[in-house]
Chain A
Amino acid sequence: MSAADTVISVKDVSKTFLLPHERAMSIKNVFTELPFLRRSKNKESQQALKDISFEVKRGEFFGIVGRNGSGKSTLLKILATIYQPTEGSIELKGRVVPFIELGVGFNPELTGKENVYLNGAMLGFTKKEVDNLYPNIVEFAELEKFMDQKLKNYSSGMQVRLAFSLATRAQADILLVDEVLAVGDADFQRKCFDYFRTLKKNNKTVVFVSHDMNAVREYCDRAILIEKSRILVRGKTSNVATAYTRLFTDTKYGKKATNTRWGNKSVVINRPSAEEVKEKIIIKAQITAKKRVNKPVIGFAFKNATGNTIVGSNTKLLSKDLYGIGDMQPGDTKTVIFEMDNIFNDGSYTVDLAVTDSDGITVYDWWEDSCQTQIFKEIKTPYIVNPDIEFRYKDKDAK
């Protein structure tokens, strides 16, 4: 690609926010505090971005990832020319439309229709242009019956639908998309991602900020990882996404075992562990009975970094005769091992462990996030699991 295809060029951008102790200064302060004293006292600055440089070519899907507070949203606002960089420069070619938030300028006291025209103006549409787009917008938002009602009577879902419907009509060369687009119900998310696919097809340039590595892997051609105001990793999306995941699996940042634990302690769990051994995940724990218990059941839940359970099972379900690990006498200790194929995507996982009576009603010991493990492998898909998949094919005529 030639230099002419560069549509966004960011050169050595730094951004420092000055944080006065009192945000709204009053004139009284000006008189009571001498200017040179005030400066030294109030000059608390926060470096949000440091030496950021990158270029984006026409038609690229460019990802910006980073943890909360890393500075990625500030960078997006600088790209949207909402903030001015303290140092360095940015250059943008073409019409930029920022989707920092949907429905900018929406007024609850106006009707849906009036808001379409208002928000349309914010996006740069003339009245005539909105007139032409209006039926389309309403249809896409599925709000035909509600357009003459005031926006304050809309549900939040209806508002988002209307705003998104409008936003997708914006004629932009460069779109800056914050992760806000990824909120909403499943149906809405599908619409969002359909829209992304259309953008990609139409060769639009998109800068995409997200925490969702699956979405980043799927849509972005290149990405940068921002950590502590600087670019930590840049380049191939898969590398950046892996590095991002690693940030969280680094135990310093990772979710600590919280030790939320309850139960009557007739049986207790000791030494829980989870690890990756030769393409298997092995979850291990010792249980010790304090009282006599009949056929206790030990179970686990394997959860990803967002807390969703990916798999789970217990000794009752897994044993054919429902006998499980048998009865236990006071003082008995058994080591229980669960072993499963490592079909999981990269990331940090935690394990809930529990021992209950055979009916699952009386809890002996329930231990949330009892242990955790990290998984790294050079996976090629952005999805939650990646089991072995084989494929075959046949020629049309073959029988």
Chain B
Amino acid sequence: MKQLKDRYRYSIILLRQLVKTDFKLRYQGSALGYIWSLLRPFLLFVTLYFVFTIFIRLGKGVPHYPVYLLVGIILWNYFAEVTGGSIGAIVGRGDLIRKINFPKYVIILSGSASALINLSLNAVVVAIFMVFNHMSVNLSDLYILPLILELTILSIAVAFLLSTLYVRFRDVNYIWEVIMQAAFYATPILYPVSEISNKSLKVAKALMLNPMAQIIQDIRHVLVTPSSTTISEIFGNEWIRLVPIGISILILILSSIYFRKRSKSFAEEA
């Protein structure tokens, strides 16, 4: 354990300091400062509440639909923040990389740590709304933690891949933007899964193999309502969950190998 700590000592020191700096700089100069971290999800919720419960009644059958929606969007935003922020991260730190040798993955991890802090603040807002909505908040909600871990693994995996690709191909950010837009609608965030599965079970099955869909539906299932359709219900098999989890881990392994291999020449190319 001590050995492990020594080996990663420098990375840990750097990571801590970079996250701290990032957080300090984020709301610098704004009057409300950190309060924005809480205010943003709150205002988002207000908007969602009006649009989707009064004007467009998309989630008719879903209990606590605004909270259901908020959870989905917050999780999606977390993924979008980590991946989108990572694209230019290596290139953006080029001046640092050219002057000192340090483990480059720290750059990616610090970005995702900042996003994770944001996610936790958002979670506080969700918890507040759950109380206001007379939803039960209890210990079993902690089941979301392994799911958040899975989401983090997936996000970091994609972040490694994108940031490395961007060093050579500067088109990556435009491509990723388009992909994210399409993926937002391909993931059951705004609409309940039942809308799809009622029409075509095959399409619903394909959609649910997407790790993002599986994670969001599972977390909603735990936090908001048991009527949130999970991947195991669509396939009628508990073990099927291992497929999207496996996909996340596989992407992480492949992209870290790629990142590691290419990070040696970041100083010359970034």
* A80 CA to B168 CA, complexed, in Å: 24
Q: Is A125 in contact with B21, judged by CB distance below 8 angstroms?
A: no
The interface size of chain A toward B, counting residues with CB under 8 Å, comes to 31
Q: Is B267 in contact with A109, judged by CB distance below 8 angstroms?
A: no
B17 contacts which of A28, A77, A98, A117 (Cβ < 8 Å)? Answer: A117
Return chain B residues, CB-CB under 8 Å to A53: none
Q: Is A84 in contact with B101, judged by CB distance below 8 angstroms?
A: no
Return chain A residues, CB-CB under 8 Å to B100: 80, 82, 98, 100, 104-105, 122
The distance from the CB of B176 to the nearest CB of chain A, in whole angstroms, is: 12
* A8 CA to B98 CA, complexed, in Å: 21
B10 and chain A: residue at smallest CB distance: A124
Q: Is B14 in contact with A84, judged by CB distance below 8 angstroms?
A: no
Q: Is B169 in contact with A107, judged by CB distance below 8 angstroms?
A: no
The distance from the CB of B236 to the nearest CB of chain A, in whole angstroms, is: 41
B169 contacts which of A27, A109, A121 (Cβ < 8 Å)? Answer: A27
A150 and chain B: residue at smallest CB distance: B28
Q: A121-B14, A121-B16 are in contact. Are A82 and B98 (CB under 8 A)?
A: yes
* A120 CA to B21 CA, complexed, in Å: 13
A4 within 8 A of B: no
* A82 CA to B95 CA, complexed, in Å: 12
Q: A100-B99, A114-B21 are in contact. Are A127 and B265 (CB under 8 A)?
A: no
* A77 CA to B267 CA, complexed, in Å: 10
Chain B contact surface mostly: helix
A80 and chain B: residue at smallest CB distance: B101
B28 and chain A: residue at smallest CB distance: A109
Q: Is A121 in contact with B268, judged by CB distance below 8 angstroms?
A: no
A124 and chain B: residue at smallest CB distance: B10
Q: Which residues of A84-137 are within 8 A (CB) of B?
A: 84, 98, 100-101, 104-105, 107, 109-110, 114, 117-118, 120-122, 124-127
A25 within 8 A of B: yes
B170 within 8 A of A: yes
Q: Is B171 in contact with A27, judged by CB distance below 8 angstroms?
A: yes
B247 within 8 A of A: no
A101 and chain B: residue at smallest CB distance: B99
Q: Is A84 in contact with B96, judged by CB distance below 8 angstroms?
A: no
B13 within 8 A of A: yes
Return chain B residues, CB-CB under 8 Å to A81: 101
B182 within 8 A of A: no
* A391 CA to B135 CA, complexed, in Å: 96
* A80 CA to B171 CA, complexed, in Å: 32
The distance from the CB of B88 to the nearest CB of chain A, in whole angstroms, is: 12
Number of inter-chain CB pairs below 8 Å: 71
Return chain B residues, CB-CB under 8 Å to A77: 98, 267
* A122 CA to B97 CA, complexed, in Å: 11
Q: Is A25 in contact with B21, judged by CB distance below 8 angstroms?
A: no
B24 within 8 A of A: yes
Q: Is B264 in contact with A26, judged by CB distance below 8 angstroms?
A: no
The distance from the CB of A271 to the nearest CB of chain B, in whole angstroms, is: 51
Q: A114-B24, A118-B21 are in contact. Are A105 and B96 (CB under 8 A)?
A: yes
* A101 CA to B99 CA, complexed, in Å: 7
* A84 CA to B261 CA, complexed, in Å: 12
B165 and chain A: residue at smallest CB distance: A27
* A24 CA to B14 CA, complexed, in Å: 29
Interface string of B91-113 (1 = CB under 8 A from A): 00000111111100000000000
The distance from the CB of B114 to the nearest CB of chain A, in whole angstroms, is: 15
Return chain B residues, CB-CB under 8 Å to A54: none
Q: Which residues of B12-30 are within 8 A (CB) of A?
A: 13-14, 16-18, 20-21, 24-25, 28
The distance from the CB of B224 to the nearest CB of chain A, in whole angstroms, is: 39
A383 within 8 A of B: no
Return chain B residues, CB-CB under 8 Å to A114: 21, 24
Return chain B residues, CB-CB under 8 Å to A98: 99-101
Return chain A residues, CB-CB under 8 Å to B98: 77, 82
Q: Is A28 in contact with B13, judged by CB distance below 8 angstroms?
A: no
Given contact pairs A100-B100, A101-B99, enumerate 9 new A-B contacts (beta carbons under 8 Å). Answer: A25-B170, A27-B169, A82-B100, A98-B99, A104-B99, A104-B100, A109-B25, A110-B21, A120-B17
A-B contact pairs, 6 of them (CB 8 A): A24-B168, A24-B170, A26-B171, A105-B96, A114-B21, A124-B13
